[in-house]
Structure 1
Amino acid sequence: MENSAGSVFSENAERIVTDSVFQKKDPARRSIFLDGKYAFSMSPETFRLFPIEINQKLTAKQIEIILSHEEYEKAKTLVLRYLSVRMRSEHEILLYLKKKELSETSIRRTIAYCKELGYINDREYAATFTRDMLQLNRYGIQKIRFQLVKRGVSKDIIDDILENQITEAEQYQIALDLARKKVNLSRDKNRLKEKIYSYLRQRGFKYSIIQRVLKEVL
């Protein structure tokens, strides 16, 4: 059910809480009725913070505060579910929350909450992402940089991670392994150099590394 507490009435006017019942589909949540009509629902977290009672009078401002906090609780639940799949950058989470049409206030509070608890950490995210892209996906440093920029990670963090986490020798060995597989599978030996060069460039390896690899395999 949608919230109907925002019905037009004076900011100074008061509405009376006429009922508070647990929902059938989600027993942890409460449906709040004002003046005999359903108005909004509350999560356990919101109700603990605002334990409203039957016959209590609520002003428009009080209702606005309750609904604002309820949206914040919803945003936190959405983000924690989103993060349960894999780590995300701050930028990814920001875009995700904006798609949910949440208020800027709820989005800012949720991101601050996640940062405080360590759920959002772009440096840790970039380090893990880089290691996975290198070892599992077998991508070169340029491809990894592009993907991190795309995910909104700052240039300072990207530069630091790529300079200190990936060695030249490691990049070379991965590129060499990929090139050797191409050599073994290729039937057209005449265009092999061109194919390997194009393949490694697409995977984000630097020109200097590709040249070393070509000298080794051809």
Structure 2
Amino acid sequence: MCQQSQLYKVTKVEAQKRPGRYNIYLDDEYAFPVSEEVLIQYHLFKGKTLTNSLIQTIQAADQQSKLFAQVVDFISYQSRTTAEVRTKLQGLTEDTDQIEAILTHLEQLALINDQQYAQRYVQQVALAGKKGPIAAVRYLVQKGISENLAHSMVAQFYPDDQATVNARPLAQKAFDQYARYPYNKRIEKTKLSLVRKGFTFATIDEALAELDDTVDETEQAALLEKAGQKAWHRYRGVDRFQRVQKVKQALMRQGFSFADIDQFLDNIEEQQ
């Protein structure tokens, strides 16, 4: 097979044990394997004549066919983005032309479609109600979707009003979970919880505005008394002015209000 002009005749086509794979014999000698797709595409039946150039083309097509089959298997378990499929292909071959050809073929067959992938994901997130729009964008970008496309899908399928609807019960749940904290700290932690879930500050403010934030005054007073006495004892080694200032700062960091802290310190003064 060293002369480009030399011709070879297909003398036998043998099915392999692997479904969809065939062995091609040229001039009564085994030559190369091909997929059923390539077999049909190049009419590789008994009596067909081939040149060296055509053989190389067929072998390249078979390699691409094998790569395509591997990728189809890869995306059969779950939807994939173009970036994910490209990464998979790069782990299988260094031939960039083959990679791009396979990606184009997959797109033509609608087996990969970044816009549909992003739309479905955003709709799922909005419907589930556990994450905010920012989280949806972040996830899509990590999957290789462009930021512009991710933001566009969020704008269309996860509007602000839906985000607020989703954020309200999450805000209430978080606020209730932090009942052992002072009111201001509960609000702070509730906000942080929603930020981590991917909601915007504007949405968080709207959700908090409708929060049932009724607190047990007796319980809050007990929390302040316990924290205040602990801080008062901790700073017993400094002069009185510094002690008062340090206790104020400590209680403010814990989320108690100025008014409640001053009331606590007034009570301390009366007890001295």
TM-score between both structures, scaled by the size of structure 1: 0.80
Superposed CA deviations along residues 136-187 of structure 1, whole A, max 9, x for unmatched, are: 3621111111222222223432232222222212101211111222233345
Q: Distance in 2 between matches of 1:180 and 1:39?
A: 71
Distance 1:110 1:11, change over 3 A: farther
Specify the code of the residue in structure 2 equivalent to 1:178: L
Q: Which residue of 1 aligns with 2:110?
A: 118
Question: Does residue 208 of the first structure (1) align with residue 236 of the second (2)?
Answer: no
8 Å contact 1:71–1:102 — kept in the other structure? Answer: no
In structure 1, what is the Cα distance between the partners aligned to 2:129 and 2:32?
Answer: 47
Aligned mates of 1:155, 1:16 — CA distance in 2: 54
Structure 1 residues 153 and 103, CA gap change in structure 2 (3 angstroms): same
Paired position in structure 2 for 1:196: 190
Structure showing greater radius of gyration is 2
94-103 vs 12-21, which moves further: 12-21
Aligned residue identity for 2:33: S
Superposition RMSD in Å: 2.7
> CA 1:77–1:105 in structure 2 vs 1: closer, same or farther (change >3 Å)?
same
Opposite residue 170 of structure 2, the aligned amino acid is L
> Structure 2: which amino acid aligns with 1:60?
N
C-alpha separation between the residues in 2 aligned to 1:102 and 1:112? 17
Partner of 1:60: 52
SS of the residue aligned with 2:86? helix
Deviation at 1:37, TM superposition (A): 6.0
User: What does residue 3 of structure 1 align with?
Assistant: none
Q: Post-superposition, which runs of at least 4 consecutive aligned residues in structure 1 deviate over 6 A? A: none
Distance 2:31 2:192 in 1: 62
Amino acid corresponding to residue 189 of structure 2 in structure 1: K
Number of aligned residues: 209
Asked if 1:153 corresponds to 2:145, the answer is: yes
**What is the rounded CA distance, in whole Å, between the counterparts of 1:42 and 1:137 in structure 2?**
49
Q: Distance in 2 between matches of 1:28 and 1:163?
A: 45
Matches within 5 A, 1:30-45: 30-33=22-25, 38-45=30-37
Could you say which residue in structure 1 is the equivalent of 2:14? 21
- Alpha-carbon contact 1:140-1:206 (below 8 Å) kept: yes
Structure 2: which 5+ runs fail to align? 214-272
CA gap 1:118/1:56 in 2 versus in 1, 3 angstroms? closer
Equivalent positions of 1:1-150 (< 5 A) are: 10=2, 12=4, 14=6, 19-24=12-17, 26-33=18-25, 38-53=30-45, 58-101=50-93, 103-136=95-128, 138-150=130-142
User: Partners of 1:80 and 1:53 in 2: how far apart?
Assistant: 27
Q: Structure 1 residues 113 and 27, CA, compared in 2 at 3 Å: closer, same or farther?
A: closer
Any stretches of 5+ residues in structure 1 without a counterpart? 1-8
Identity of aligned residues (%): 23
> Counterpart of 1:177 in structure 2: which amino acid?
P
| Paired residue type of 2:16 | Q
Q: Is the 8 A contact 2:174 2:193 kept in 1?
A: no
Please give the alpha-carbon distance, in whole angstroms, between the structure 2 residues aligned to 1:151 and 1:84.
17
TM-score when scaled to structure 2?
Answer: 0.66
Cα 1:188/1:10, change in 2 over 3 Å = farther
Relative contact order higher in (CA < 8 Å, ≥ 6 apart): 1
AA in 2 matched with 1:204: G
| Offset from partner CA, 1:23-49 (integer Å, 9 cap, x none) | 12x143112345776543211111012
- Alignment partners' CA distance in 2, 1:95 and 1:208: 37
- Please name the residue that 2:239 is paired with: none
> How far apart in 2 are the matches of 1:104 and 1:163?
35
